[in-house]
Amino acid sequence: MLQAVFWDMDGTLIDSEPYWHESELRLAAAHGGYWDEDLAWQGSGTPVPQVARQMIERGTALTVEEISQGMVDYVAQQEHLRMPWILGVLDVLRSLAAARIPSVLVTTSPRNLAQNLIDQAPDGVFVGYICGDDDVAKKPDPEPYLAAGKLLGIEPDMMPYCVAVEDSMSGLRSAAGSGATTIAQTGYMRADTSHGPQFASIRGYEGITAETFDQFVRQRAAGESGDGASATRR
């Protein structure tokens, strides 16, 4: 029954938030702004230009374009040196590939970061990606996930048979709005998403396989709730 799995990137596939936060703190400190870890976490899951505007409001004396480029360049450099894959996620991707379930990356990050992740992933686990440079509305709009479905020839009415894995409230709203069976990854994001629109939540990837995602889709199709212990994996 499971047709595809759509993956957010930061905080879902890779634990990259420390890289983003360090880039923001460095830029603010070097250019007269005030920024701290709490503010950095508040910006997690939002488009880079939006974070840049917030940094300018707090005194960082650069343009949106300069801050955005500085952040992306720093994160790209760090991820080129070491891609911080979340423990167990590569096994999940391989499980899906073995079951012939396609995975698509859906991220607001720019193309060079998305392509770098694809290049460092095991061969064949991703069939494509939607990124922040594509001409689609940004999360929390559902369009990125609908565009991912379109890549695979999946019509909107079939999105409930696809799983989307997200970690931020913005991403969860985007995925759920597309109709996908939305799973919250809660292990790497500080923000509370317990009241989000997800069908179920997982913390880490221990015990998660292609069969797990298929079960989520089947539970939803049967009208079962995803809030019970059987749907929350630790």
Q: What confidence tens digit (pLDDT) does each residue in 133-169 have?
A: 999 999 999 999 999 999 999 999 999 999 999 999 9
The pLDDT value recorded for residue 45 is: 72
| Same-domain check for residues 53 and 113 | no
Domain count, the chain: 2
Q: How far apart are CA 163 and CA 7, in angstroms?
A: 8
Pair 128, 222 in one domain: yes
CATH code for position 52: 1.10.150
156-to-3, 40, 224 alpha-carbon distances in Å: 12, 34, 21
Count of other CB atoms within 10 angstroms of residue 228? 10
Same domain, 112 and 28: no
One domain, residues 104 and 212:
yes
Sign of CA dihedral 22, 191, 137, 204: positive
**Domain that residue 28 falls in:** 17-81
Which amino acid is present at 7? W
User: Are residues 98 and 189 part of one domain?
Assistant: yes
Q: Is the pLDDT of residue 42 over 80?
A: yes
Please report, for the domain that includes residue 218, its CATH number: 3.40.50.1000
Same domain, 34 and 90: no
Residues 90 and 187 grouped into a single domain: yes
What is the per-residue pLDDT for 227?
Answer: 58
Residues 76 and 88 reside in one and the same domain: no
Do 97 and 171 belong together in one domain?
yes
Shared domain check, 98 and 40: no
Report the chain's terminal Cα–Cα distance, integer Å: 24
Do 71 and 111 belong to one domain?
no
Q: Do 124 and 188 lie in a common domain?
A: yes
pLDDT of residue 138: 93
Please provide the average confidence, as pLDDT, over all residues in the chain.
94
| pTM, full prediction | 0.89
